[in-house]
């Protein structure tokens, strides 16, 4: 099955279950894969609104925002994910990189400190 067929099938499911955050997340990911970032963001945002505590949703939505250079929007979502996955090196790096891209060098530096601990196995 190709991505577009899978997307159509999942959109049909959303019509039957419009409050299912996992379906919105899956559609957002599929739209991201076909490079439709505008609609991917729309679906991932809806998934986040429906359930802002699922790690997959947080990761996918924050990563999409980050990839579009929407660092200011991505930071709080990555930080929520960090609460769930406190030893996730990628999350720490993305938050630090986002602060750096925004010119908040001190916050970036402070964010990278836990990364050093994770890399040294102290975290």
Which pLDDT tens digit goes with each residue over 26-59? 999 999 999 999 999 999 999 999 999 999 999 9
Q: Distance between CA atoms of 57 and 99, rounded to whole angstroms?
A: 22
User: pLDDT class for 116, splitting at 50, 70, 90?
Assistant: confident
Longest dimension (CA), the chain: 48
| pLDDT tens by residue, 65-108 | 999 999 999 999 999 999 999 888 899 999 999 999 999 999 99
Q: Distance between CA atoms of 11 and 18, rounded to whole angstroms?
A: 10
Q: Distance between CA atoms of 31 and 74, rounded to whole angstroms?
A: 19
**pTM of the predicted protein model:** 0.86
**Residue 121: what pLDDT?**
67
| pLDDT tens by residue, 96-105 | 999 999 999 9
Taking the domains of the chain in order of start, what are their residue ranges? Answer: 1-51, 72-123
Query: What 8-state DSSP symbol labels residue 87?
Result: T
- Token pair recorded at residue 8: 């159509």
Q: Distance between CA atoms of 60 and 20, rounded to whole angstroms?
A: 16
Q: Give 45's Cβ-side CA count (13 Å radius).
A: 9
């Amino acid at each position: 099955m190709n991505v577009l067929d899978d997307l159509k099938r999942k959109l049909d499911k959303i019509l039957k279950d419009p409050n299912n955050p996992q379906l919105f997340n899956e559609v957002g990911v599929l739209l991201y894969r076909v490079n439709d970032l505008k609609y991917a963001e729309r679906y991932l945002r809806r998934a986040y609104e429906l359930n802002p505590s699922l790690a997959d949703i947080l990761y996918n939505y924050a990563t999409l925002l980050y990839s579009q250079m929407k660092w200011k929007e991505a930071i709080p979502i990555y930080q929520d994910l960090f609460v769930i996955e406190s030893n996730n090196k990628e999350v720490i790096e993305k938050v630090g990189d986002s602060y750096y891209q925004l010119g908040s060098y001190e916050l970036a530096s402070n964010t990278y400190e836990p990364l050093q601990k994770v890399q040294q196995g102290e975290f």
